[in-house]
Every structure is written in C-alpha cells, then in structure tokens.
Structure 1
Amino acid sequence: MPGRSKGAKQRAHLVFGSAWVMLGFLAQAVTGVGFWVLAARLYDQVDVGVASGLFTSLQFVNYASALGLQELLSRYRPETRGDPLLGWSTLATVASSIVGTVAYLAIVTAQSGSNSALSALTTAGPTAVAGFAAVAAANSIAALADARLMWARRWSWVFWRLTLAGAVRLPLVLVPSMVLGDDASLHHVGVWLFFVMAAPIAFSGLITLGLLGRAGNPRPSLAVPDGGWSQPLHYAGVNYLSHLAILAPQFILPVIVFINVRPVTYANFFLAWSIAAVAFILPVTIGRVLLVEGSRERAEAGTTRKATLLAVGAMIVATIGAGLLALLLPSIYGASYTEAGRILPWLVAGGIPWSVTSIALARARVLADSISIVVMTAFAAVSVLGLAMALVPSRELDGAVAAWCLGNAVASAVAVVLVSVRTRTAEVSADAPVEVDVGVGVGQ
C-alpha cells in the first residue's frame, strides 16, 4: 500500500507538472503568434522577414549549443550545500552560445552569401551581434533555471515566467517605430523587431535564475560534484546527441528555408510555421502524459493505440481548423501574406504522421528501447532534411511543404513497422517487469 500511494503521488506530480508546463509553452506560442500578427500589420514585409529570420537563427543556435545541460539538470538533483552542476552548466551554456553564434554567422554567411537578415544584424554594428549572443545565452540559462524549478516542483513558476514574458512583448512591438521613426538612416527596423520579440522571454530566465533560492534550490557553485564528473558528463553527452537527432527537422528545416529564400518569402513561411507549431504541442503532450500515465510499468498496446488515436485525432482537427484559418490569414496579417495562408494547412497536415512518430517515440522511451529511439529519430531527420535540401533551393515554399509532409510520412511508416516488430519480439517476455525512469522535460 505505501508503494502504491507513492506511485499515485508520482503520477499526480507527472500530470500536474506536465499540464503547467504545456500551458506555459502554449501561452508562449500564442503570444508569439500575436506578436507577429501585430508586426505584420505595423511593419514592412521585408522588416518582418528580417526579424523572423533572426529569430529562426536564434532558435537554431539554442538548439545546436544546448550540450544536453537541461536534461542533465532534470536528471540530477541539486546537492544540499551548493549546486555545482547548475554553476558549471551556466558557464558552459554562456560559452557555447557565444561560440555557436560566431560559428553560425560564419557558416551561414559563407553558404548563402549576403543573407539580408544576417547582413542587417552585422551592419547594425558589433553591439547588435553581441546582443544576439547575449539573448542566445540568456535563453539557454532560462532552460536551465526551468529544469531546477521543476526539481523543486515549482511548476507554476515556469508557467508564469513564460506567460508574463510573452505578454510583455506584445506592447513592445511598437518600440521600433517609436525609436526609429521615419529616419531612413536608422533603417534597422527588422533587427529592433527581433530584439523586442526575443529579449523578454530570454531575460526572464536570468530573473528566474536569481530567484531559485526562493524556490528552495541551493546557490550555484563551482565546486566538484559529490559523485565526480564521469556520470554527469556521459549523461549530458548522450542526451545532447539524442536532442540533436529528435529535434533536427523542427529546427533545421526553417534554417534551410531561411538561407534559400528572400526575406519576403521567408516572412510568409515563418508566420505559417509559427501557427503550425502551436498545433505540434498537442502530440508531444499526449505522448508524454497519457502514455506514461496509462502504464508506468509497461507500455501496453492498448495504451499506445489510445494515445495514437488521440494524437492523430487532435492533429486532424487542427488541420481542419488550419484550413479555415487559412481563409482568414490574409485579412489578419495583410494581403501580402496570402502565401502563408496557402501553406498553413499543409504544414499542420504534416503533423499528422509526425504525431504517430511522436507517440512511437514516447513508447520507446517508456520501454528504454534505445534501438527504436535511434532508428526513429534518424529516419525522421534524414527523410525530412534530405528532401528539404533537395527541394527548397528550386521550389522554395512548395519544396519545404513537400519535404515536411513526405518526410514525416516516411518516418511514421518506419515507426509503425518498428513498433510492430519490437512488440512481437517482446511478447515472449511480456510478463517481465520493465523499470522506467520517468521525468518531465521542458521545450521538447
């Protein structure tokens, strides 16, 4: 009975925490869409394209320079006399963000020539480039602080950080026009627009880091962890590689589009992608909460089917809704954003097969099936990104849509076959209990 009571409490924490975090990221996504709606109505399409291109670049730098540190802090509890893992992780993420910014600017500029968004950033001066790196570092620190808040079960703090910071940036959309006015010599509107979009969320993380003591977390330190560095470094490295593979399509596809199209074209893609990303939260949440909540000791076939039906059903409804929204998009954003309305339903529809892969991955994580995880993530990354690199340079937005939809269809087919094969293989030992280490991550 005590064990059962403890398990019930763990399940309650899982559902409660997942709900808070999901609502926080949903609020962040919705306020983000609201920001871009206002920007599209207030500013020239080129400026919106520059700002959205820089925001995509920021997201990619954060993705590529994460180093598995958020997963590390989610896995290892703070020590009682200090928190060396948090201290060293903070230093490491600042360094990796700076290196990542420099490397990204150098590589993308070399690959795409005079990219207008990156040119706008560099011509705005060294302060603008340093500001980009600072926002990237603050974003990464925010993720580390959230991981420690979740250890302290301060789920609501994560929600309110994301919600309030997201809401603050809505009135800030007016700042570029107020500061720059009509002076053409100060025409860095897109760069300013990027900073007022990205900075509030990023620097709310610095505030959260300073408030961790009030949440019961020890102060960051630069001591050696009690257990040494071997296990933490190994864990961070393994999860960093997994992080890169799992999220590659969502983060690299926009970059491929960004470096191959004009800012005006990219503005249409980014606005549609931002709306579609709100729908993508649904399968991730269902896979995380329902599947694990339904079976902590073994991922039963019935639970997997139920989770898959819910995820696919949610994405079908979202696709229908996107089709209706697409009709209104030009009137919401402006007549110059008709292309965003045209591709939006297809981007959301690509989430239908992706939701199948998402649930299959959740099942594989519950079963600690590393082979399935590696195969599924590899196929998802290679199929989507391979098609994108082949199609986007010549077909632009149509190529991106085709890569997203067809690549996810291939990945989901592989996931279904793999789950079927692995399930049949496991049936011979169906009665053997499977130990599961379940945690709740942020921003997956």
Structure 2
Amino acid sequence: MSAPVGERPTGRLSGMWQGLLRDLRNPLFRNGYALMANTAITAVLGMGYWWLAAQLYDPADFGRGQAVITAMRLFASLTALGFVGALAKFIPVAGRHTPKLIVRAYVIAGATGVVAALGFLITLPWWGPTYATLGGFGPGLFFLASVLVWSVFTLEDVTLAGLRKATWVPVNSLGYGLVKMAMLVGLAFALPDDGIFVSWIIPAAMALIPINILLFRKVVPRHVRQTETVTTRPLDFREVGRFLSGDYPGTLSILASVYLIPVLIAARVDEVTFGYFSMAHTLGSLIELLAMNMATSLTVEGSFDRDRLASNSRRALRRAFMIIIPIVVVTILAAPLILRVFGAGFADQGTLLLQLMAVAVLPRVLIEIYLSGLRAMGQARRLALVQVCLAVLVLTGTLLLFPGAGMNSVGYALLLSELLIAALIFPGLRKMLNGGETSQSSVTAGSA
C-alpha cells in the first residue's frame, strides 16, 4: 500500500538526508563536498566583498585593485599550483615524510613566486599604466611579501584535502572572507587607493598562523601515526620531482585561463573596463573551480586506494554533474541579474562572458575527472600533454579573437578549447570509467 500523498515529500527528504549522510561517511565525497562547500562560501563572501568594493571605491581604483590581485595570484601560483596535484597524490602515501613534503612545497612555491614577481617589478613599464602603482620600494616590497603569503595560502587547502581533513577548508575560508570584508570597509576611508589589495592580503597572512599550527601540531602527526604501520615503500622525493616535471607544464592550463589571461587583458584595457571583465571572469572561474574540487578528492582517494579508482571516478563524475549542471543553468539564465547587483556597467559588459564561461564548465568536468585519474595513476606525460594542449588553445584563441570580440574572446576561447579537449580525451575517460578493479595495493583508510 502506498503512503499518503502528503507524506511523500517528507519521505523523499528523509531519503535524501540519509543519502547525504552515507556520502559523508565516504572520504571521496566528504572531501569533495567540503571543497565544494568552500567554493560556495568563497563565492558568496566574494560577491559580498566585491559588491562592497564597487560601492565604496572609485571605479578606476576598483579595476586597478582587481588587476594587482590578479598579478599577485599569477606569480604566487607559478609553482604553488604545480604542487596542488603533487600534494594530493603523495601526502596520502608520504608517511613520516609528510611534514618534509609539505614544508618543501611551501619553500619552493614561495621562493619561485617571489623571484618571478621580482622580474615583473623590474619590467613594470612593459605592463601598462594599470600596474604603475607598484613602482617604488614600499609598494614593490609589499607586493613581493603578498606573493609569498599567497603561495602558502594556496597550498593549505590541498594539504588539508590530502590529509582527508578538507572539512577545515571552508572554516578557514569563512574566517578569511569575513575579516577581509571588514578590513575592506575600514580601508575605504583610511587607504582609498590601495585598500582593496591590502584588505585582500593581510587577512590571508593572519590565517596562515592558526591553520599551520593545526596542520603541524595535530593533523600531520595523526596522519603519520595512522599510516606508519602500512607496508608501503618509503616516499622517494625523486619520484615527486619526476611527477612534478610531468604535471607542472600541465598547470599552465589553469595559469593561462585563470591568472595569465586576466593580466594580459589588464595590460590592454583601462582600469574601469578591466573591473567589468574581472567581475564576470571571477564568477565564471568559481564555477569552474567546483569541477576541480571533486577531481582533487578523486586524486586523493585514488592514491589511498588504487583498486577503486574506476568506481570512484564514476561516482565522482555523477556527483559533480548533479551539482554543477543546475548551477550552470541558473548562471546562464540569471547572469544579467547577478552582475547588475554590482552595477549596470557590469551587467552590460560582462553578461556574455559569464554565460560562456558557465557553459565551458560542463566539458571541464570531464577533463578534470580524467586528469585526476591520470594523477592518481602517475601518468605524468599524458597529464602534461592534455593540459599543455588546453593552455595553448586557450591562449591562442584569446589572442586571435580579442581584436574582434574584446574581453568576450576569453569566454569563446575557453568554451571552444574545452569542448575540443573533452572530445579528444573522451575515449580515454570512458576506458578509465570502465576500467574495473586493479590488483595494485592500497593505502589504509585509517586517516579518515
């Protein structure tokens, strides 16, 4: 006998709740959902932050602040972004070498980022008037320090994910976002020209202390204790280096689409126009980040348990599409309304770009799941080939289309490039999804 009609919604909600609880007991989904929740928190607080900035700061200062932040994140990510895949892969099997692995990643990422940023400052006149405010010893030194801070800040999230403690990531982002907004308001009057950049980096520097205390005093020692009895070979840092040599060129894809292209756009347009571009690009990149979140969790679980890579890949792909498709549809329909919150100019100039970037996320899901599977299997050459091809296509497409399409060239280039790459990798992805069980050993799930 069927249940009364009035009871069906309650039963359905109860079933969904039970399903969510089952997912949260699975490290693959727990980590993935935590990283997606972090992206959602970042998006909501980010929209609030930029809305306040648009109300409190001059349009030129708004655009210039975004341009300087984008440049800082580019140099901070030059090596840090390369370590994201490596930490997700090797932390689960690093054992007693885990602290050394994390510290080396911090040092190398920070040092190379600062050196690259120094080269940028030396050649500052080449980058247009938007970046002229970084001239001088004081602003230049602060910029270099910000690159160092953001390099470490970038690696904290994936470090927590690799340790299966990604649930701390949204907590960190929530605290950082709230402090950042409060500081933005205060500096609007005390430091109107540079308040956006300063309010962005100071809270990040403050967040480094408690998170790293949590990591090195509690989470990492617990991970070492829980994995020390596992019979795996010791971590070979030369293997990490070989993985990086294959994976790092692939990170150019993310650097090109998320960081380098905005810097190139900033050098070609005025501050106000860049402000319109950057707001749409930032929101589009946040949706793309959702695809990467579940993929990062897949890399971690694939390293812990290679036997279940195929089944985990299928489940990660289903969950990613279940979450991302509704977000993409809403973004496409509501893009003008979303951007109009910041001002009429943002909606008029940025709607098409945001819509194109939202559609491009759909093939990106396929690409990211495939890349994460390659990372888990240690197939660095194929990983590099796919990502470098994507980087070349995005950069070339943007430069070719810019004279006619302006800032919308970024959206067209992303969509066309990711559709092409998704089509090319689809046979390999299908093989990975249908790969069945492997005979390789797995790492215990004791650190869950």
Instruction: Name the TM tier (shorter chain).
Output: 0.7 to 0.9
Distance in 1 (CA, whole Å) between partners of 2:391 and 2:342 is 31
Residue 171 (structure 2) pairs with residue 171 (structure 1): no
Cα offset, 1:12, TM superposition: 2.8
Specify which of 322, 331, 351 is matched with residue 341 of structure 1. 351
Alignment of 1:217-228 (within 5 A): 217=220
**Cα deviation per residue 1:157-208 (whole Å; 9 max; x = unaligned)?**
333222111111112221332214xxxxxxxx34321120233134412442
Cα offset, 1:344, TM superposition: 1.7
Cα distance change, pair 288–157 in 1 and its aligned pair in 2 (3 A): closer
Greater CA drift, 162-171 or 204-213: 204-213
Structure 2 equivalent of residue 131 of structure 1: 142
Cα offset, 1:53, TM superposition: 0.6
Specify which of 3, 7, 29 is matched with residue 15 of structure 1. 29
Structure 1 unaligned runs (5+)? 1-7, 181-188, 219-225
Structure 2 equivalent of residue 408 of structure 1: 418
Distance in 1 (CA, whole Å) between partners of 2:220 and 2:315 is 38
Structure 1 equivalent of residue 9 of structure 2: none
**Cα deviation per residue 1:38-61 (whole Å; 9 max; x = unaligned)?**
111222211111011111112211
**Cα deviation per residue 1:333-355 (whole Å; 9 max; x = unaligned)?**
11222212343212211222222
Conserved in 1, the CA contact under 8 Å of 2:184 and 2:199? yes
Q: Secondary structure at the match of 1:174?
A: helix
Structure 2 equivalent of residue 221 of structure 1: none
Structure 2 equivalent of residue 270 of structure 1: 278
Residue 324 (structure 2) pairs with residue 323 (structure 1): no
Conserved in 2, the CA contact under 8 Å of 1:319 and 1:349? yes
Structure 1 equivalent of residue 393 of structure 2: 383
Residue 291 (structure 2) pairs with residue 283 (structure 1): yes
Conserved in 1, the CA contact under 8 Å of 2:121 and 2:134? no
Structure 2 equivalent of residue 186 of structure 1: none
Alignment of 1:228-243 (within 5 A): 230-243=238-251
**Cα deviation per residue 1:400-429 (whole Å; 9 max; x = unaligned)?**
222122222222222225546x67xx99xx
Specify which of 436, 440, 445 is matched with residue 435 of structure 1. 440
Structure 1 equivalent of residue 46 of structure 2: 32
Conserved in 1, the CA contact under 8 Å of 2:35 and 2:294? no
Cα distance change, pair 93–405 in 1 and its aligned pair in 2 (3 A): closer
**Cα deviation per residue 1:63-118 (whole Å; 9 max; x = unaligned)?**
213284455555253648x94444444443332222121123345642x4xx2331
**Cα deviation per residue 1:218-242 (whole Å; 9 max; x = unaligned)?**
6xxxxxxx97854444444444334
Q: TM-score, normalised by structure 2?
A: 0.77
Distance in 2 (CA, whole Å) between partners of 1:238 and 1:10 is 33
Specify which of 182, 191, 196 is matched with residue 193 of structure 1. 196
Specify which of 81, 99, 117 is matched with residue 130 of structure 2. 117
Q: Secondary structure at the match of 1:97?
A: helix
Alignment of 1:77-92 (within 5 A): 77=94, 79=96, 83-92=99-108
Cα offset, 1:432, TM superposition: 7.3
Distance in 2 (CA, whole Å) between partners of 1:196 and 1:377 is 33
Specify which of 43, 47, 64 is matched with residue 50 of structure 1. 64
Distance in 2 (CA, whole Å) between partners of 1:203 and 1:311 is 32
Conserved in 2, the CA contact under 8 Å of 1:32 and 1:166? yes
Cα offset, 1:369, TM superposition: 4.5
Could you tell me which amino acid in structure 2 is paired with residue 411 of structure 1?
I
Greater CA drift, 276-285 or 332-341: 276-285
Cα distance change, pair 245–384 in 1 and its aligned pair in 2 (3 A): closer
Cα distance change, pair 321–235 in 1 and its aligned pair in 2 (3 A): same
Greater CA drift, 384-393 or 232-241: 232-241
Greater CA drift, 157-166 or 136-145: 136-145
Residue 360 (structure 2) pairs with residue 350 (structure 1): yes
Cα distance change, pair 408–179 in 1 and its aligned pair in 2 (3 A): same
Specify which of 332, 348, 352 is matched with residue 341 of structure 2. 332
RMSD over aligned CA atoms reads: 3.8
Distance in 1 (CA, whole Å) between partners of 2:81 and 2:372 is 22
Could you tell me which amino acid in structure 1 is paired with residue 134 of structure 2?
L
Greater CA drift, 150-159 or 397-406: 150-159
Could you tell me which amino acid in structure 2 is paired with residue 435 of structure 1?
Q
Could you tell me which amino acid in structure 2 is paired with residue 64 of structure 1?
L
Q: Which has the higher helix share?
A: 2
Q: Secondary structure at the match of 1:66?
A: helix
Cα distance change, pair 394–83 in 1 and its aligned pair in 2 (3 A): same
Cα offset, 1:128, TM superposition: 1.8
Could you tell me which amino acid in structure 1 is paired with residue 132 of structure 2?
S
Distance in 2 (CA, whole Å) between partners of 1:382 and 1:126 is 35
Cα offset, 1:13, TM superposition: 3.0
Residue 219 (structure 2) pairs with residue 209 (structure 1): no
The alignment of Structure 1 onto Structure 2 pairs a total of residues equal to 406
Could you tell me which amino acid in structure 1 is paired with residue 129 of structure 2?
S
Could you tell me which amino acid in structure 1 is paired with residue 328 of structure 2?
T
Cα distance change, pair 78–147 in 1 and its aligned pair in 2 (3 A): farther
Structure 2 equivalent of residue 4 of structure 1: none
Distance in 2 (CA, whole Å) between partners of 1:56 and 1:439 is 40
Cα distance change, pair 276–437 in 1 and its aligned pair in 2 (3 A): farther
Q: Secondary structure at the match of 1:323?
A: helix
Q: Secondary structure at the match of 1:435?
A: coil
Could you tell me which amino acid in structure 2 is paired with residue 102 of structure 1?
L
Greater CA drift, 149-158 or 334-343: 149-158
Structure 2 equivalent of residue 96 of structure 1: 112
Greater CA drift, 270-279 or 135-144: 135-144
Conserved in 2, the CA contact under 8 Å of 1:366 and 1:436? no
Distance in 1 (CA, whole Å) between partners of 2:145 and 2:129 is 21
Distance in 2 (CA, whole Å) between partners of 1:386 and 1:438 is 42
Distance in 2 (CA, whole Å) between partners of 1:330 and 1:92 is 38
Specify which of 165, 168, 171 is matched with residue 160 of structure 1. 171
